[in-house]
Structure 1
Amino acid sequence: MTTAETTEKNEPTTARLSAGETWRALYTHFRPHRWQVALGAGFALVGAVTGLLQPLAAKVLVERLGGDESITGILIALTALVVLGTAIDATGGYILSRTAESVVLAARRTLIGRLLRLRLPEMERSQPGDLMSRISSDTTLLRAVTTQSIVAAGTGGLTAVATIVLMGMMDMVLLGVTLGVIVLIGGCVSLVMPKIAEATARSQEAVGEISTRLERAFGAYRTVKASGAEQRETAVISAAAEEAWRHGVRSAKWESVAWSSVGLAVQVSFLAVLGIGGARVASGAISVSTLVAFLLFLFYLIDPVSKLVEAATQYQEGSAAIARIVEAERLAVEDTEEPAEGAEGAKGTKSAAGGGVREAGSGASVTFENVSFSYRDDLPPVHHGVSFEVPGAGMTAFVGPSGAGKTTVFGLIERFYEADGGRILIDGRDVRDWPTARLRGAIGYVEQDAPVLAGTLRENLVFAAPDATDEQIREVLVRARLDALVDRLPEGLDTVVGHRGSKLSGGERQRVAIARALLRRPRLLLLDEATSQLDAVNEMALRDVVAEVSREVTVLVVAHRLSTVTLADRIVVMDAGRVRAVGTHAELVAADPLYGELAATQFLATVEHGAVEQGAI
């Protein structure tokens, strides 16, 4: 099965928009720049008028050549028209090109802002590489269609009408011959346009597939190399590139047919006019100067007709890009705007570290009331009536077999996902009633894989607290045991950590993630296996830090190490999406068989003697 076939099976082709939807979407991008476009169009029209005057001046010149009148004045006038027309066209072209770049910039800003606010399920259903392609590649096609194409269609149409009117004033017979040829060949061109649109749409989808495949390979670069999969990945990405090439060539083929048809129409019209016009000159129906002027108008007609064909071609290409952009714009997004001062949910003060929200009190209470949840309708539920209560500051550990739904608890608290049933309360208030930005501003979250972003170490540390002071950063570095690392780095905090923190060890990445969360000074700290890659010394040190933090902050931790679990004020045992039991380590060992089994076999705990050895579930 080819890459294209796989893509078509797994990802639906972008839905085509109706003509009305396409024009409305185009106008949305065009409207903020309409006055600049109008100015550019004005210059284009003036340039077109100067061009229309040139054949008339040439007619006067030919007539004077047969008499004794001086031709100096008309030559100067003709030269001035040519120079003036060129200057005006160049100015109008610059204005339109500059405006086109502004349209692309605005579209990219809007799309970037929207895609970064996508709901997590929407992002998980999408391919990041394809979304990146819509920002980079698809928006580029707006450059022509929202400015040059619209202006070309308008000025080209008006110029063509004006030219035809002037040609008709000179000789209706020759005009009829010209229009007959142009209409015949123009009908053939109109049949080609939908094929250009289809080929362009498929080409853009293939470009998105290239980005998706590249993002996958670069995101697991070490795995690709360790697996000896360079050639296989190269073949897969090359197949996607070949698919884009194939549709690009197909689009180029139909565009070539369209442009060749324009040239054919002009050449056939010229030969027909020359033959029939010559006969009419011989019969005395028209003068030689009229035939010369008519032929000049015919040549001048090439430009507006070409503009109309170009506008139609660009519209077909742009409509394919617009459909993909609109599809991305319709994805569900979160409302992450901060509430206005005095509005509901705006209570609280900013933390000194910049970004978190510090409500009255210390730690936040967390309550799950009969919560049910599944990631998709076609997947089995992850939570079946989960209920527990965390009253405030302190540490609560979640334990249980893999797939029990522990990490999902954190995703629901952060509102990455919405519960299907039941309620989740933070400080007695349903999370759905919290403004998203304010809710997350009160939470520090260390993910299971502890992601580190490309950039400097400082940028990673202050990512969630951009206003943090150097003193606060230094304090957090000491608590996370990163101070020694920073001291030996060549550029200290300004050292670049590489793509996804590739220059750091797994344990260092986890400590960076913990420091980032602590620097935010949250009221609720979520730790998802936050110390799994640390050595024993660093783990014990950070365990003490977490214990210290939990005196003022509510700490929820998904733990697979008994050393962490036994520190918890309460332990929530989960199994198959349900809460089996809640209690302390000693209570659960005595009362819950599953926890007792985990403690005896996987925690490697010797309960009778009270001796504990560290292990992993």
Structure 2
Amino acid sequence: MCPPGTRGKRKRPGVSGDTRGRARGADTLSGMDARRVGLPALLPYLREHARTLAAVAALSLVGAAAALAQPVLVRTVLDDISAGHPAAAGVALLVALLITGAAIGGIRDFLLQRTAEGVVLTTRRRLAGHLLRLPIAEYDARRTGDLLSRVGADTTLLRAVVTSGLLEIVTGVVMVTGATIAMAVLDPLLLGVAAAGLAVGMSVAITASRRVRALSQRAQERLGEMTSAVERSISAVRTIRAAGAEEREARTVGRSAAEAYDAGMRVARLEVLIGPAATAATQGAFLLVLGVGGARAASGAITVGELVAFIMFLFFLVLPLGQALSAYTRLQTGLGALQRIEEILDLPAESAGDVAAVPDAAGAADAVAFEHVSFAYPGGGEVLHDVSFTVPRGSRVALVGPSGAGKSTTLALIERFYEVSDGTIRVDGTDIRQVPRAGLRAKLGYVEQEAPVLAGTLRDNLLLTAPGADDARLLAALGEVNLGGLVARAPEGLDVQVGEGGVLLSGGERQRLAIARALLAGSPILLLDEPTSNLDARNEAALREAIATASVRRTLVVVAHRLSTVIDSDRIIVLEGGRVVAQGTHRELLDLSPLYRELAAHQLLVP
């Protein structure tokens, strides 16, 4: 069987498609007992911006104080005018307060925006770094599009939490508290009238806001599924075009988009209740205060200045109250996104290993040894059964057998992408579970069956495994795999673009580039999974020469369907049904193994 990410992708029982879990829900954690995050979960994201946020909080408090002072000054100015006293000083001070408040608001908003962008940047870096360190098995159960959605859309929602979430709620509380106290001092009766008008509408809005988080999280999940559908279609666009399946795929993406739309509309319908309820409460309170307050001013119970000041305080009460309510709604949306981010960050990363250094086992006779190894993928049946074999140091060993025999899985286990279910794998005489993964993989060069090529230039791809290599070394590696002509015919040389996924290269060029990349790493053990699967006869012969040259300096373990690639190997191990059924040289196996002879006969290699 082939490991995830290779052409022969394994299938789990009951799930059709590739190992990313195309069945709905396979990539989300909604079915798990996910930890529900609250406001404390935001603190780690805000901690590095604590000083800036403290400055923003201070500016907000000063701005709130300046705003609350304005109705008092207005009342004083109006009372002075009514009494025939000079009011120029009060007017000047009022103008100064307005200008100061506007300046403070601008500085505060800039600091908030900068902090929000910083939080998004930090979160994306942290999430992306964690994603790259997850165990390979985690990628088997998740869709790439959903992971991209968490890095992109979900982190973006945190911006609103910072810019108009927590601090707006805090500022709103200060403003509401100050305005309420001032209104109580001015006229307790009018305060009771205003509170009665606000109570009904605000209670409806608050009740609706409590449901926003769950619906918003569901909408983000649907967005992730839609992104996955788009990613699936784009990554296979050539196959889709060749099959004439554009309309079917468009309908599939359309259904996902419709589900995301429906989820978004459920949030929108709920938010629609919040806005009108708050507006109705505001207008109702204003009309009540205007009517009752006008009557009290006419009766002499309060002055006109006090009524105007009260109405201004009412606006200072209602406006931040509505803003705080809206901010609470956005906060719930942000916490829903944060929960999706935290679900990924809570997944354990691939451990570095159990010891601090790679033990010195240079004297071990075998570079690789399998000792009674069995393995089953999570949720699937057993793939390898009691497999034992050795790869002597400096030798060239091939793994052959029918599709699904477990050949590629064997290489994945050597790389420790998965842990064995039973038995032991040794590299240079040491159990790989007792070696740090970084140290283990430094010993191993690995070329996957699909030979992935990174978007960018030829140089970028080669430097992936040898960041300090000069041009001469890069060109030498390309020459070893008969790829020097690619540089010679491109005006850009090593800086020629290879396209997304190497689309500007042929299948054989991608394969050889991946092998050159592995050779540059200088690893003493080289694992090649179907190195000639995309090569024509001429390039296969050239690559066989390169592999033969590499085997003088390295230990090679080669998985091959084309027996012509490996007939000159020091040892050939035949796998069938996850078991070693025979091993020996090409000539020995022709006599000893019916299965090997059958494979050879099909490829016209039987003398």
What is the TM-score of this pair, normalised by structure 1? 0.91
Are 2:606 and 1:606 equivalent residues in the alignment?
yes
SS at match of 2:487: helix
Are 2:548 and 1:547 equivalent residues in the alignment?
yes
Measured after TM superposition, the shift of residue 146 of structure 1 is 3.6
**Unmatched runs of 5 consecutive residues or more in structure 2:** 1-21
In structure 1, C-alpha distance between the alignment counterparts of 2:462 and 2:213, rounded to whole Å: 47
Q: What's the counterpart of residue 157 of structure 1? A: 173
- Which runs of structure 2 are paired with 1:480-491 in the superposition (5 Å)? 480-491=481-492
* Equivalent residue letter for 2:356: E
Q: What's the counterpart of residue 345 of structure 1? A: 357
2:43 to 19, 23, 27: 27
Q: What's the counterpart of residue 610 of structure 1? A: none
Q: What's the counterpart of residue 371 of structure 2? A: 369
Q: What's the counterpart of residue 269 of structure 1? A: 285
Q: What's the counterpart of residue 41 of structure 1? A: 57
In structure 2, C-alpha distance between the alignment counterparts of 1:81 and 1:17, rounded to whole Å: 52
Indicate if the aligned counterparts of 1:273 and 1:295 stay in contact, CA closer than 8 A: yes
Measured after TM superposition, the shift of residue 18 of structure 1 is 9.0
* Equivalent residue letter for 1:49: A
Q: Cα distance 1:532–1:8, how it changes in 2: closer, same or farther (>3 A)?
A: closer
In structure 2, C-alpha distance between the alignment counterparts of 1:10 and 1:204, rounded to whole Å: 15
Q: Cα distance 1:11–1:121, how it changes in 2: closer, same or farther (>3 A)?
A: closer
| Root-mean-square deviation (Å) | 2.1
- Which runs of structure 2 are paired with 1:199-238 in the superposition (5 Å)? 199-238=215-254
Q: Deviations over 1:228-274 (max 9, x none)?
A: 11122122212222222222233223223212222211211111112
2:126 to 88, 91, 110: 110
Indicate if the aligned counterparts of 1:393 and 1:551 stay in contact, CA closer than 8 A: yes
Measured after TM superposition, the shift of residue 19 of structure 1 is 9.6
SS at match of 1:66: helix
Indicate if the aligned counterparts of 1:363 and 1:393 stay in contact, CA closer than 8 A: no
SS at match of 2:385: strand
In structure 2, C-alpha distance between the alignment counterparts of 1:18 and 1:266, rounded to whole Å: 39
Q: What's the counterpart of residue 96 of structure 2? A: 80
2:114 to 98, 114, 117: 98
Indicate if the aligned counterparts of 1:522 and 1:553 stay in contact, CA closer than 8 A: yes
- Which runs of structure 2 are paired with 1:389-428 in the superposition (5 Å)? 389-428=390-429
SS at match of 1:387: strand
Indicate if the aligned counterparts of 1:452 and 1:460 stay in contact, CA closer than 8 A: yes
In structure 1, C-alpha distance between the alignment counterparts of 2:196 and 2:109, rounded to whole Å: 32
Q: What's the counterpart of residue 269 of structure 2? A: 253
Q: What's the counterpart of residue 564 of structure 2? A: 563
Indicate if the aligned counterparts of 1:200 and 1:317 stay in contact, CA closer than 8 A: yes
Indicate if the aligned counterparts of 1:400 and 1:575 stay in contact, CA closer than 8 A: yes
Q: Cα distance 1:15–1:138, how it changes in 2: closer, same or farther (>3 A)?
A: farther
SS at match of 1:366: strand
Measured after TM superposition, the shift of residue 368 of structure 1 is 0.5
In structure 1, C-alpha distance between the alignment counterparts of 2:515 and 2:571, rounded to whole Å: 22
- Which runs of structure 2 are paired with 1:115-194 in the superposition (5 Å)? 115-194=131-210
* Equivalent residue letter for 2:543: L
In structure 1, C-alpha distance between the alignment counterparts of 2:32 and 2:208, rounded to whole Å: 17
In structure 1, C-alpha distance between the alignment counterparts of 2:207 and 2:228, rounded to whole Å: 33
Indicate if the aligned counterparts of 1:547 and 1:567 stay in contact, CA closer than 8 A: no
Q: What's the counterpart of residue 613 of structure 1? A: none
Q: What's the counterpart of residue 71 of structure 1? A: 87
Indicate if the aligned counterparts of 2:591 and 2:597 stay in contact, CA closer than 8 A: yes
In structure 1, C-alpha distance between the alignment counterparts of 2:473 and 2:52, rounded to whole Å: 49
In structure 2, C-alpha distance between the alignment counterparts of 1:572 and 1:347, rounded to whole Å: 28
Indicate if the aligned counterparts of 2:453 and 2:502 stay in contact, CA closer than 8 A: yes
Question: How many correspondences in the alignment?
Answer: 586
In structure 2, C-alpha distance between the alignment counterparts of 1:591 and 1:90, rounded to whole Å: 84
In structure 1, C-alpha distance between the alignment counterparts of 2:109 and 2:77, rounded to whole Å: 30
Q: Cα distance 1:419–1:437, how it changes in 2: closer, same or farther (>3 A)?
A: same
1:296 to 302, 309, 312: 312
Q: What's the counterpart of residue 614 of structure 1? A: none
SS at match of 2:311: helix
SS at match of 2:244: coil
Measured after TM superposition, the shift of residue 594 of structure 1 is 1.9
Indicate if the aligned counterparts of 1:17 and 1:323 stay in contact, CA closer than 8 A: no
Indicate if the aligned counterparts of 1:362 and 1:393 stay in contact, CA closer than 8 A: no
Q: What's the counterpart of residue 476 of structure 1? A: 477
* Equivalent residue letter for 1:434: V
**Unmatched runs of 5 consecutive residues or more in structure 1:** 1-5, 349-358, 608-617
Are 2:342 and 1:326 equivalent residues in the alignment?
yes
Q: Cα distance 1:307–1:34, how it changes in 2: closer, same or farther (>3 A)?
A: farther
Q: Deviations over 1:410-464 (max 9, x none)?
A: 0000011111110010011111111111111221111111111211111112211
Give the share of equivalent positions with the same residue, in percent: 44
Indicate if the aligned counterparts of 1:407 and 1:558 stay in contact, CA closer than 8 A: yes
Q: Cα distance 1:364–1:181, how it changes in 2: closer, same or farther (>3 A)?
A: farther
